[in-house]
Amino acid sequence: MSGPFDTLLNWRLLPGSHAFPGPDGGTCINEAAIVAAGLPYRAIRSSADCPPCFSGPLATYALGLNDAMPDAERPRLMAFVLRLAGSADAPGIEAARTAHLVLQGVRRLLPPVLERSGLAPHAAACRAAAELDRAVTVARHAAWSAGSLAEAAGRQGTWVRGARAAAAARAALFAAEIDARTAADAAEAAALFWPGAWAEAVAILDEALGIGRQAPPLGLEEAEFRLEAAKRERAGLAA
């Protein structure tokens, strides 16, 4: 991450929920977004803990990525600290966001790991899926084939091949669910054998944030001030 978000990177994103930000930050993405927006701080254990002005599917997907990403990848999410508060929208928009997360996960996260497992035809079918129902169907077929391949590899003692197929099966099973959390789980499973999955998942989140209501503009300086104030408050409590 570089450019206008450099200052926000002084705030550390960590997996899990946190009672209060530590002196170096130390919160999940949604907790950081709460602080940056000037809302009362709260620990976030699931998207249900987010303020009602947060989009449920977007907060769920972001939290899933936050908790699964390696430390080196998690700073990619800092770009969304300014975009979650105020993103909640009507049920139809939230459904469209979920559909985007799921459809694009099937089309873009599954194919590379399927190809690495020797399932090129299934990868092609996933890439070609243009509608949500079709994407769910081809993901389920891919999960069954990858699972069969993993079982056969286990019997043959080809462990690396089996591990790749098992990861592909797991990713496909998650991707086949119309749910924002399992869409993030699919990214985690795909990343086991395709590190590029994290960058692609972040791009998918960015696109979903572009659907419907946008968060009110929040200046970087204002957000940084609030984040730094939270650090100072924590330091004062600990003194």
In this structure, what token pair is assigned to residue 3? Answer: 């450019």
Q: How far apart are CA 158 and CA 162, in angstroms?
A: 6
In this structure, what token pair is assigned to residue 124? Answer: 């092609």
Tens place of pLDDT per residue across the chain (239 aa)? 444 444 455 677 778 766 666 655 667 889 888 888 888 888 888 888 999 999 999 999 999 999 999 989 998 998 888 899 999 999 999 999 999 999 999 999 999 999 999 999 999 999 999 999 999 999 999 999 999 988 886 777 777 788 888 999 999 999 999 999 999 999 999 998 898 999 999 999 999 999 999 887 776 777 777 777 777 766 555 54
Question: What is the predicted pLDDT for the residue at 137?
Answer: 98
Question: What is the predicted pLDDT for the residue at 133?
Answer: 97
The verdict on pTM exceeding 0.95 is: no
Helix or strand run (H / E) with residue 27? strand 25-27
Q: How far apart are CA 66 and CA 74, in angstroms?
A: 6
Q: At what angle do helices 91-104 and 197-209 cross, to 10 degrees?
A: 160
Question: What is the predicted pLDDT for the residue at 222?
Answer: 73
Question: What is the predicted pLDDT for the residue at 22?
Answer: 60
Contact 28, 45 (CB under 8 A): no
Question: What is the predicted pLDDT for the residue at 25?
Answer: 61
- In degrees and rounded to multiples of 5, residue 100 shows phi and psi of -65, -45
Q: How far apart are CA 162 and CA 159, in angstroms?
A: 5
Question: What is the predicted pLDDT for the residue at 111?
Answer: 97
Cβ burial, residue 210 (10 Å; 0-12/13-18/19+): exposed
Q: At what angle do helices 56-68 and 29-36 cross, to 10 degrees?
A: 120
In order of 37, 74, 216, the CA distances from 54 in angstroms are 11, 20, 12
Question: What is the predicted pLDDT for the residue at 16?
Answer: 72
b/e map 110-135, b = 16+ CB within 10 Å: bbbbbbbbbbeebbebbeebeebeeb
Question: What is the predicted pLDDT for the residue at 2?
Answer: 44
In this structure, what token pair is assigned to residue 71? Answer: 């430390």
In this structure, what token pair is assigned to residue 82? Answer: 């300014």
Listing DSSP states for 118-146 in one string gives T-HHHHHHHHH--SHHHHHHHHHHHHHHH
Q: How far apart are CA 69 and CA 219, in angstroms?
A: 27
